[in-house]
Every structure is written in C-alpha cells, then in structure tokens.
Amino acid sequence: MRKIFYIIFLISFSLNSQDNFDLNYYFKNKLDSFNPNIPKPSDFLLKQKEVGSSHVSHDRLVQYMYALANSSKRIRLKKTGETYEGRPLLTLIITSEKNHSNLDIIRENHLKYLSSTNNKDSDFYNRPVVIYQGYSIHGNEPSGSNAALLYAYYLAASNEKELLEQLDQSVILMDPSMNPDGLQRFANWVNSNKSEYLNPDKNDREFNEHWPKGRTNHYWFDMNRDWLPVQLPESKARINTFHNWYPNVLTDHHEMGTNSTFFFQPGISSRVNPLTPYKNQELTQKIGRYHEAILIENGSLFYSEEDYDDFYYGKGSTFPDINGGIGILFEQGSSRGHFQESINGNISFQFTIKNQLLTSLSTLKASIDLKKELFDYQHSFFNEFKNKKNEYIIVSDKYDISKLYHFYEILKNHKIETKKLNNNKIINGTEYKTENSFLIPTNQKNYRLLNAMIENRNKFNDSLFYDISAWSFLHSFNLDYERINISEKLQNLDFSKPTGSIINESEYAYVFSLNDYYTPKALYKLLNNGINIKVATEEFSIKENKFSYGSILIYLKNQSKSHSEITDIIKDISYETGINFYGFNTSHANGIDLGSNSFKKVRKPEIGLIVGDGVTSYDAGEIWHLLDTRYEIPITKIKYSDLSIIDLHKYNTLILVNGSYSSDNNYTALKKWVEEGGNLIGFRNSINFLQNNKLINLSFNENKPKPKNLNFNQKKNFYGSQLTSGAIFNVELDLTHPINYGYYKKNLSIFRNTNIYIKNDSIDFNNPIKYSNYNTLISGYISKENKKSILNSRPFVSLKIKKGRINLFTDNTNFRAFWYGTNKLMMNSIFFFDLM
C-alpha cells in the first residue's frame, strides 16, 4: 500500500465542552434504525452523559456489557478469567441469532477446515468469518475501550440491512478491555483531574499521569508483549479464547503520542518476521484500503508502512500472523485526557474514540468482503505442515523438573502437541531420561508457531527493531535439546505439576540441592519458620547421593522447633515446591562432613525494591511479580525519594533496577546504608548511576562507531542500528561461586538488552560469569561494534564496599517473567551475598 497522508484534516472535532455532542457525532444518520429497547452506553456512564464526556471505568464497562448481553440475542457474554486485582475478563461473542443457535457447530467447522486435507467442500466458503477485536491492552490508551462501548451498542441495537447481513456472515469475538486494572487506574486519574471547562494545556496535571501509570497491569507488565510467553492471567484467558477459535482477523487498538495522527498496518516491510508468509502482508494491505476509505470520509489524518513492525510474535498484532490469521495494529494519536493541544490542533477524546469506532467498522466490512481469501490463506497456512518431515525436538532439564514443567505449560497453552519419551537416550553426550524429558513433534498443525518459539536467528533484513530480536524459549528456560528422528509409536504427554517428598525421614539432618526452580521459595519458608539453615560452599556426597555447591543443610538439633515439627514443615514445603529433601543420620560424608565450617549460615532476606519516578516500572514489576507470586517472599516497595527519610536498616537487601536517579540526599542515604553493611543489587543503567557518583569504579569496553558518508536522513537508522534491544548470548559460569549456586552446567543462555560492557577483571575468580569468546551470540541482533565490546566482558560484578556489598547485573535476569533460566542469579545475590 502506498503511504498516505490525508491532508484534508477537520479541526472541527475539537470540543471544549462536554455537553455539545451526542450519539449522532458517532453514528450520523444511523440512529433511526437502532432498537430503542437496547440500553445506551450513556445510561451507565458518569452523570449519564455520552461516551467521551468522561473516561469509562472498568466496573461501568462491565455493567454495560452485561446489560447488552441481557437485552440482545445477538450477544453472548463469557467471563474468561480474572485479573490480579480480581476484575473480570470478558469476551463478547457477537453474531446473528441464527448463528448463535448453531455456535458450537460453527466453531467446530471452522477448526475442522484449518487443517483438513480433504478438498474444499461446498461449505468451505459458506460459513462465518471469525474476527477478534481487542481494545486498550495498554490501560492509558483508553480510546479503544471507550469505542468498544459504542461498537457493542451498534452491533446489538442497529437494524440496518447491511449490519444484519454482516452478523450472518461473521462471528465477532470482542475483548472490550484487555487490561482492566490499567484501564481502571487511568480512568481514575483523568476523571479526578478533569476540569469542568476543559483546558488543553499539555502541562496540566490531567495529561501528566503519575508513576507507574495505567499502561501496565497490576504487576506493571506490558501485556502486549505476553501473547507468546503467556505468563499473566489476562494473557492466559485471551490465548485460550484465541486457540478455541483461531480468528481470521485480529485487531489490536492502541494509542500513540498526542502529536501523531492515526496509524494502521501494514508496517515497515523490511521488518516483517521471515516466518510470516508474504500472503499475510498482501491481505493486510487489502484490509488497509477499507480503513483508508472510512478515515478519509471522516476527514482524519493517517499513515501506514512506518514506525511499527511485525517481527516479535509476542504482540497482539503479530501473534495472529504466526497462527494463520491477519493481525492489525491501530495506533491513534492520544488526547491523554479529555481535550489536549497538539501540533495538529486541539484533540478531543471524542475524536480519538470515533476513529477507533470507524476502524472497528471497516475491519468488519473488510473481513466479510475478503473472507474467501482469508479462508484460503488460513487453510494453506495450516496445511503446509503436512509437507514437513517427521522430526522431534527432545527437551530435558536433568535436575530441575519444575522449570521443565513451566516450559510445558506454555506449549500446552498454545495447543502445541507433546509426547512422552519411551526410553532413556544419550545424544551428543547428553543423557535424556524419561522422567525429565519429553518430545515435541515438528510435524503438527502448529509447527509454524513452534518454530517461532524456539528458533535461533542471526541474519536479518533490517538492523532496526521495534521490540526484541530474539526470544527462544529453549534458551530462556536453559534447557538441553536436540532434533532427532523417532519411528516408534508415542503417547501424548500429560505433565502434572511436580511434587516433592522426604527421602528417608530423620531426626538428625536433612539436605536438599539448590537445582530446582523453587528453591528460593523453600529457603524463605524455612527461614520464616525460624529454622536455621546452612549452605554448602563445597561439594560432598553421602552414600549414592551427590550434593553440589549451594546445597542446603538443615541440622535438626539446636533448633527452636522439635525435629517432628520441622519434619512436618519440610513435608509441606517439599510437596508445594517439588523439591526432594534427603534425611541422614550421620554427619560423615565424602568431601566435607555435615559439621564442617564449609557450611555457612543463611540469613533471612529483608528486601526493599526501589520504585517511583524515574524507575523503569517494567523491570521493577518483574521482580515484584517474581518474589510475590512465585517465591512468596515479601518485598517492600520504597520510593527512591523516601530513602533519606526512612529507616533503611530494616532491610539487608535493596534492589535498584534500570532508571534515572538523582544525586541528592536519597543517594547519600543509599550510599551510607551500603557502606554500613547493606546488600545493593543493581541492574542495567543503575550501574552508570553508581559509577558516575563514584560509589563504584569499573572499566568498560566501548567501541563507538563514527558515522561516515551518511546523509542527515540516515541519522536515525544509524543510531538505531547500535541498540541491543534484546538478544541471547552464551556465558560461562564458575560453578563454585555463590552467584552460580544451583547451576550444574558451565554454560548459560542469558538475555541482553543494554550496551553496558564491563571489562573482565584481571583476577579470573572475580569473573564468575563471563561471555564466551567463541560463539557467544546465540540468537538475535547485535552491531559489529558492540559484538567487539562484548568480548572479554562480564555481565555480573560483585564488589565489596566497606562493610557492605554491591552486586551488579548489566542486563535483566527476570525479563518479562519468562526468562526462567536466569531468575536463580538474582535470588543467589539475595540469599548468599555475604559469601561473595
């Protein structure tokens, strides 16, 4: 599609009073056909005024959607889940009354034709097209959810002949609020800061939302990156709906900066993921012409083929592209409130809502008009797997069955088939046992999706990325894997959440290894119950049981609880975490004995997480989520601006994530706390902050390129090509160092999303994690200059600062909650910092 900048822009949309418009603004010349018995959105909004007069809160949106479902036979409402804050996740299934009476059959037929190898029968085209329309996955981009009120009303109430025919020809899956917690947070902000006479001054408090803002969910995740990892309850609900239907078209309604206009896909052609078929982009262009037409009629500026790409499949507009559908991104220039100035004139909330409504309507029309092509495309997309050879991917984690289970969960959420391993195998020197391995057939319906989830890619058509360039789940889980051929008959896998047990009850001592993913949870529960525990700084074995560095000893004597009470606590912890505890009645061992001074006492962590203005909320939220929901470890969220006025001695660990921090009294308080014995864990750009303030003194590798023979219009691309926004690297571990306790392989896949390259120390044991000089890049993009910088560098540094310690990570060990393989690094820096 040619780039279009429609220049007949109507400034008359600017409305500075909340009372000078009605439904005719949204539905000109159409209201006469509306059923008066269907409730209007205004019946459920503040002061019963029209959509756009205020921002709909999620509770009122829910009330209205239930009212529509109760009054219209065109709508069936399903509660698909709940958010972390307990708000309902809703899907409205909207179609004709006739289709509703056969809805199960329609869905079954739609799924049948996805991968049917039979010739297309007479009913192949004679069925409804399936459209998923989702709104405001970023809660502070609210024009989408507010437009959903109007769109649902139109679909329920209008008796226009065209719509009645469209309802016969389609099944619409409407997700009116993809981020209820964020939408509610933002609605509260703008409604409470709204003036009666609207003031467009961009400096007004209404347009300057406080941290952490409404973009994210409860734990501050960007949920429009979780379609592939599926780690959040909101994502699990919508992914289940998606795979129950496999929509032909999915739309994702967003907002962008106030000075922007309106974007719809296609995006930048050179940045489409190579796994996406070219036909997908052809259909995206054809659908785009419908958006073009309706926006021109409305007098709206718009553009396409710039700014946004279709590379990372974890976004709502790209996820359908690897699942046989067409994903469409809409980006509306945001009013960020009710009425704000912009370079295009004052922009009203109502105008942003109307554009989202119009493109919802154009999507419906395009999907129906193009449904034959959409059906053909989806059928060919899924049938191509029949031509793939019968190959399996064998995956294993020898010592961490819990982590392997969570990988399986993701595959199961995406309807990817898995098989049991019939017998043990040794492949390229790695042992794959039946109890800790399974198989993934590549010859299955969702092989394209599987490939997108696990591939390693180092060649790209473009050096710029809107999001990350690599995300292989085999590496994020740090699994052993191989591609193999198997001819034997295999059974489907049914993998239950692992449970542990006590192996040999004892009145003397218990030992467990630190390999399992949930050992931090076990450690904290033991410490929180007042049980003294020690960690092994050397290897040892008792009988046939071998225990590596970081194994945990619970000596049952001299405890505040009896051995039977401790045993009962351990039974509960073992069952809950999947960890086996081994009982022994002797202190004697091969290697260090259980009474050795090489066992060191473990302190109970008291953790503070620095939050507030300047802090990257994503990074902070990932840590809060990890400690709270997985490990059940309390964490106190402390504003950076409060560090100088609270008693920091309550905490033995503070975490400073990526952010912009000030050198003021709060920094002074932080420095004093570290020097007096605190454990400060810093991530990403916090390293530069500490270095600039001379709390640390590190040397860095820098290979900054100099632009040569470039024109001014190449400046943006030049600097963009130097960003390392998300790639996977191989590092080598010193397994004897406390930061690496619980790892059993000397190599680890880590995620890198900064250009901070700390030089290796001249003393090698100060480099417990370092980049491999051979094939360090596993997958993703890094510029040739930064590739030089990463050699002889280290992603982790531990520094003694007077009585305290600073542990630094150049990158994010907890990325988007799916980088399970490196969570242990941060947890070790919490539990074992005084051993480093």
Instruction: Map residue 469 onto helix, strand or coil.
Output: coil
Nearest to 578 by CA among 496, 505, 480, 633: 496
44-48, 77-81, 521-525: range with lowest mean pLDDT? 44-48
What residue has token string 């982009």? 281
Buried residues in 532-550 as b, exposed as e (16+ CB within 10 A): ebbbbbebbebeebebbbb
Q: Which of 570, 563, 475 is nearest to 525 (CA)?
A: 570
SS3 content of the chain, % helix, strand, coil (to 5): 35, 20, 45
- Rounded to an integer, what distance in angstroms lies between the CA atom of residue 481 and that of residue 478? 9
The pLDDT of residue 176 is 99
User: What is the rounded distance in angstroms from the CA atom of residue 668 to the CA atom of residue 656?
Assistant: 14
**Where are the domains positioned within the chain?**
27-112+124-384, 389-484, 502-601, 607-835
Q: Which tokens hold the place of 547?
A: 């225990």
Q: Which comes out higher in pLDDT, residue 120 or 157?
A: 157
* DSSP alpha helix (H) spans, 272-400: 278-298, 349-369, 371-383
What's the pLDDT tens digit per position in 650-661?
A: 999 999 999 999
Pairwise CA distance, residues 461 & 448, whole Å: 20
If phi over 0 gives left and psi between -120 and 50 gives alpha, with beta otherwise, what is residue 632? left
Q: What is the pLDDT of residue 20?
A: 63
Percentage of the chain beyond pLDDT 90 is 90
Residue 649 in contact with residue 679, Cβ under 8 Å?
no
Residue that the structure tokens 């002889």 belong to = 792
What pLDDT is stored for residue 388 in this prediction?
64
Q: Average pLDDT of 314-332? A: 98
pTM (whole model) above 0.85: yes
Q: What is the mean pLDDT of residues 87-113?
A: 97
Burial label for 572, CB within 10 Å (0-12, 13-18, 19+), is exposed
Paired sense of beta strands 509-512 and 552-555, if any: antiparallel
Least confident of 365-379, 383-397, 527-541, 624-638: 383-397
Closest to 36 in 3D by CA, of 182, 153, 161? 153
Q: Is the pLDDT of residue 16 over 60?
A: no
Task: Write phi, then psi, for 263 (nearest 5 degrees).
Answer: -115, 140
Give the domain 27-112+124-384 fold.
Aminopeptidase (3.40.630)
Burial classification of residue 71, based on how many CB atoms lie within 10 Å of its CB (0-12 exposed, 13-18 middle, 19 or more buried):
middle
Residue 603 phi/psi, 5-degree rounding, is -90, 145
502 forms bridges with which residues in the sheet?
581
pLDDT of 386: 61
On the question of pLDDT at 461 being above 90, the answer is no
The class level of CATH for 502-601 reads alpha beta
3-state secondary structure of 749: strand
- Per residue in 798-820, pLDDT tens? 999 999 999 999 999 999 999 99
Is the bond preceding residue 212 a cis peptide, omega within 30 degrees?
yes
Phi, psi of 734 (to 5 degrees): -90, 105
Distance of CA 659 to the CA centre of its chain: 19
131-188 confidence digits (pLDDT tens): 999 999 999 999 999 999 999 999 999 999 999 999 999 999 999 999 999 999 999 9
pLDDT of residue 118: 61
pLDDT band at 17 (very low <50, low <70, confident <90, very high): very low
Question: What's the rounded Cα separation, in Å, for the pair 611 and 656?
Answer: 8
Q: What is the pLDDT of residue 6?
A: 44
Residues in Cβ contact with 597 at an 8 Å cutoff, skipping those fewer than 6 apart: none
| Model confidence pLDDT, tens digit, residues 487-503 | 899 999 999 999 999 99
pLDDT at site 446: 94
Q: Give dist(CA 347, CA 339) in Å, integer.
A: 6
pLDDT above 70 for 119: no
- Enter the tokens of residue 289: 């012409």
d(CA 644, CA 612): 14
DSSP state of 627: I
Closest CA to 404 of 277, 493, 325: 493
* pLDDT higher than threshold 80 for residue 635: yes
Residue 557 has pLDDT above 80, yes or no: yes
pLDDT at residue 2 in the model? 46
- Both tokens of 290, joined, read 């419908």
What per-residue confidence (pLDDT) applies to 704? Answer: 82
43: pLDDT strictly greater than 90? yes
Q: Is the pLDDT of residue 4 over 50?
A: no
Tell me what pLDDT residue 553 has: 99
Residue 47's pLDDT is what?
Answer: 86
Please calculate the CA angle 144-145-149 and round it to the nearest 5 degrees. 115
**pLDDT at 672 (0 to 100):** 98
Of how many residues is the chain composed? 836
Packing angle of the helix pair 143-157, 58-71 (nearest 10 deg): 10
- The CATH architecture of the domain made up of 607-835 is 3-Layer(aba) Sandwich (3.40)
653-656/607-611 β-pairing: parallel
Determine the average pLDDT of the residues in 600-624: 98
